[in-house]
A = this chain, B = another copy of it.
């Protein structure tokens, strides 16, 4: 369904500026950090990521984590989660919402929010992260492990998709002529250059590292497993930020001309 002209007009009014968007992204850091800290309380439990090893009836080819993610998203879909632009589903063929969700007008120039969907890459990067941050071995706590995987994956995905869509739109609006040219020629290299602010990225990753350390500062290490702040810094630097920028490029390339 294409938005009406009125919707498009409204959407131009409501656009938050880049400082507000950056603040929103900053606010999502705590959520990601809390969920990662919860996940590292359990061991790697690698078997939960092994396709076909779940022992869950009816899903012989999926891993336990994938089944939990699918069940969770089927539930979320009925509550209307994926009507929100930055909430992109990892699974396809989900049920429709069972409640009327009153949505604001989103200031995004996308025909279909799901054109920007980086969940496959997010799942891959996250599974690698689990291998780095969790202790080796198996504690049998498979249900708790995949439960926390789903919470962490959703928090990470929200941050990446929110950043991809809103940062790209805000930057586009600040200089439409320049971006139109780069979009027209599909110049990904120059787009990436245009979207990169090294000093902002450095500030983000150091702030995240600091938050991880602070969040754990009063935990009793006899029972709580700490997460290494450096590993979250590296995950932000090597996965979250690059995937956000990749999403910005996808957003811009799929941006509807009518708004420009």
Contacts and interface: CB of A to CB of B under 8 A. Distances in A.
Nearest to A220: B26
A98 B56 contact: yes
Interface in A39-91: 41, 54-58, 64, 68, 71-72, 75-76, 78-81
Interface string A96-125: 001111101000000000000000000000
Given A56-B98, A58-B98, A38 B27 contact: no
A222 interface: yes
A30 B69 CA distance: 24
A114 to B, nearest CB: 18
Interface of A: 23-24, 26-27, 30-31, 34, 37-38, 41, 54-58, 64, 68, 71-72, 75-76, 78-81, 98-102, 104, 140, 143, 146-147, 151, 207, 210-211, 214-215, 217-220, 222-224
Nearest to A100: B55
A102 to B, nearest CB: 6
Given A99-B56, A100-B55, A220 B27 contact: yes
Contacts of A71: 75, 78-79
Nearest to A210: B218
A27 B99 contact: no
What are the 6 A-B residue pairs with the smallest beta carbon separation, nearest first? A27-B223, A34-B34, A56-B99, A23-B223, A214-B218, A57-B98
Nearest to A217: B214
B24 A31 contact: no
16 contacts: A26-B223, A27-B41, A30-B219, A31-B38, A55-B100, A57-B98, A68-B79, A71-B75, A71-B78, A75-B75, A76-B147, A79-B146, A81-B143, A101-B143, A102-B140, A210-B218
A213 to B, nearest CB: 8
Given A23-B223, A214-B214, 6 more contacts: A23-B222, A30-B38, A55-B100, A56-B79, A71-B78, A214-B217
A104 to B, nearest CB: 8
Contact of A214 (B41, B151, B215, B222): B215
A223 B162 CA distance: 15
A40 to B, nearest CB: 11
Contact of A223 (B24, B102, B140, B218): B24
